[in-house]
Amino acid sequence: MSNLELDPREIRCGTDAGTDGEVLPGREVPLGGPRAMSVSRTLPGAHRRMIGAWCFVDAYGPQRAAMRVPPHPHTGLQTVSWLVEGEVLHLDSLGSRRHIRPGQLNLMTAGRGISHSEESPETVLHGVQLWVALPGEHRHVDPGFEHHPSLPVVSGPGFEATVVMGTLGGASSPATAYSPLVGAEITVDGAGRVPLSAGFEHGLLLDGTIEGLERGSMVYHAPGRDELRLAGRGRMLLIGGEPFGEEIVMWWNFVGRTHDEIAAFRAEWMDGLDSGTSAFGSVAGFDGPPLPAPVLPGTRLKPRGRVR
């Protein structure tokens, strides 16, 4: 979808544009090995690491590809899977087995530890994979999985928004959230003004080319605005939340607070691959071995805040 425009006052390009209207370019990353599908990653970025509690954003497609992500662990986060086109099978160590299709939400809470896999046959895939960092008081919760086949919709002149996570325009997603946030797919047809929470910072992930910005770019807006002005026709993903006040360590598939904690997560996963037992559990039904963790860097991992 193209021909979507932001009000000229909504964007100023480059990280030197200040904290309002900052453009976050995506970088291409292979996902899933030598025959990998390609994803565009906007968070964490070179300058900005988080938007609210959202700490990871991968967008992919539309492209014809076979997704095959072997069993791997997570801690301290939630994974949010949202499709525009295609179908993906989720398996996890809780015994969950669930296909996700366009307009549906798969939400996995890792908490103290979980493992899962994702796969699909070769097909046209178009969607996003996002992570939400769990705040300190909730980061060791029991792992869980939710599938939401239908979600609330907010509409107004010129726009319609499906509320994937959190609250937008008075409508709340049924998905479990551990911090004040929002995630919504917005379609625009005409001139629209989307209501925002003034206490949130926001990111707009662009699906298509908008005012010369590359596909997969994200536009960041600092707290303080209560609406977003849009015009034309198109689709985007809105994410946002209260600025996350904690420093985190994010390495491989883990979110923690210290180097030693991450090292312990890695050791637990690798020991489990050798012994067949692990606090992360095992994923039944995936035809293939789990992913080994990469080697930790030679220097200690440092906790970092929202901005580098």
Rounded Cα gap, residues 12 and 10, in angstroms: 7
**Domain at 4-241, CATH from 1.20.140.10, 2.40.50.140, 3.20.20.70, 2.60.120.10:** 2.60.120.10
Rounded Cα gap, residues 16 and 282, in angstroms: 46
Q: What is the pLDDT of residue 234?
A: 84
Q: What is the pLDDT of residue 308?
A: 81
Residues of the chain with pLDDT under 50: 1-19, 34
Q: Cα angle at 239 between 235 and 240, to 5 degrees?
A: 145
Sign of CA dihedral 208, 211, 216, 219: negative
Burial class (CB in 10 A: 0-12, 13-18, 19+), 202: buried
Q: What is the pLDDT of residue 192?
A: 85
ω before 243 within 30° of 0 (cis)?
Answer: no
Q: What is the pLDDT of residue 35?
A: 53
Cβ 241 vs Cβ 50: under 8 Å: no
Q: Which residue has the tokens 């796969």?
A: 119
Q: What is the pLDDT of residue 208?
A: 57
Q: Cα angle at 34 between 208 and 76, to 5 degrees?
A: 70
Rounded Cα gap, residues 132 and 78, in angstroms: 5
Q: pTM to 2 decimals?
A: 0.92
CA distances from 241 to 41, 89, 122, 258, 260 (A): 19, 29, 35, 24, 29
Q: What is the pLDDT of residue 270?
A: 96
Residue type (1 letter), 217 = S
Question: Counting runs of H as helices and runs of E as strands, what totals does the chain give?
Answer: 1, 22
**Within 10 Å of residue 304's Cβ, how many Cβ atoms?**
14
Rounded Cα gap, residues 257 and 76, in angstroms: 9
Rounded Cα gap, residues 82 and 205, in angstroms: 13
Cβ 24 vs Cβ 205: under 8 Å: no
Rounded Cα gap, residues 170 and 174, in angstroms: 13
Tokens of 102: 């366009």
